[in-house]
Chains A and B, each alone.
Chain A
Amino acid sequence: MAKSNKPIVWGPFAAGGTLTAFLTPVLILLTLLAALGHAPDLLAYDRMHAFASHWLVKLAIVGVVFLSLWSAAHRLRITCYDLGVRADTLVATIVYAIAVAASVAAAAYLLLI
């Protein structure tokens, strides 16, 4: 048996899981408040645009998006196998590709801001 390269995939999963545990609930609360008509000040166009203009914020947003999507993708991959979907390589390719593609898209949109 040789040591696996699974850490490539598991490392970002663990980081993303930790990040989403700490940060995502409050972020969802922000958009939920907006959904209920009490949008926090930051979500006003001017404030949001100014916030996302800073290169450090852009970097942080891409990081958060990538890690969140990657850890969700990894969990979805495992869940599919648990539920009887045997084509692990195919599922893995699809879910990780979506995570990467959406992260690249986020970066692209941020570059336009």
Chain B
Amino acid sequence: MAEQMSRKPYVRAIGREWLTRHPRYLRYLLRELSCLFIGGWTLMMVWGLARLAQGPEAWAAFLEALRSPASVVLQVLALAFTVYHGVTWFNLTPKALPLQLGEGFVAERAIAGAHYAVWGLLSLLVLFLAGAF
């Protein structure tokens, strides 16, 4: 005689515990949090534009405010996070834009490498044009 099986599936709630299941989830969070620094720095630049529009004294005050210890620390952090954003972005680009060549694909390292090369050259160009050296 077959018994009636009673099903009662149990749904496990998900909160934030997934973040600690594996280091990759914290690395993901770090990558995402780079947005706070990129966004924050850009907002600071918009503020700088406002000061630039207000004239030389305002601009000088803006540059002076940049020299505070807090500003230095935040900008170092912003630079680190932005570079992390760039590195993760360039490393993931070949997955989003695979290049098929005949029966093979262009190596992911080559595509990412090309991005790094352009990034390096562009950065040097900007530094040069801005008179940093």
Contact = CB atoms under 8 A, between A and B. Distances in A.
A22 B86 contact: yes
A72 B35 contact: yes
Contacts, number: 152
A102 B46 contact: yes
SS class, residues of chain A in contact with chain B: helix
Nearest to A79: B32
Contact of A22 (B34, B36, B39, B118): B118
A24 interface: yes
B29 interface: yes
User: Chain A interface: which size bin?
Assistant: 35 or more
Interface string A11-41: 0000001101111111111111111111111
A40 B89 contact: no
Contact of B36 (A42, A71, A76, A82): A76
Contacts of B32: 75, 78-79, 82
